[in-house]
Amino acid sequence: MVLATARPVPARATPLAGPVEVVAADWPRAAVRFTVAAGEPVLPGHYPGFPIFPGVCLLDLTHAAVLATAADTDPAPELAEVESTRFTGPVYPGDVLDVELDWREKDGGRQCRAVIRSPRGDAAKLRLRYTGEVTR
């Protein structure tokens, strides 16, 4: 497994305030880590008095993980489809999330299967389809 350091995700609109740390990138697998800081801007409104990190942010975290671990190509991999999302456990402020990516060839593109784990176990399972180069 090739260990990597955190690298910037290309500029884009995102609800995530914190950095994505690349832990490993060795095609067809990769892993990143993300800490849900208490100051994440989405938390005060979701839900007031009992903050839970929204599922849409877990989806965006997965996309950020793809961009952070993809090959340095121009253009960057493009999200073509959200095939499946299953949110299986809550994510709270202070949680350190581990995101594991597993790639497969599919329908002329590439499918990313991701599992997001919190300290309490699986928080989400997602399948996303991409076009463009994603291998390192």
Tokens linked to 39: 């100051």
Q: Tell me the residue type at 88.
A: T
Active site residues: 46
**Environment class of 98 (CB within 10 Å of its CB; exposed 0-12, middle 13-18, buried 19+):** middle
Write the DSSP assignment of 22-70 as a string of letters: EEEEETTEEEEEEE--TT-TTSTTSSTTS----HHHHHHHHHHHHHHHS
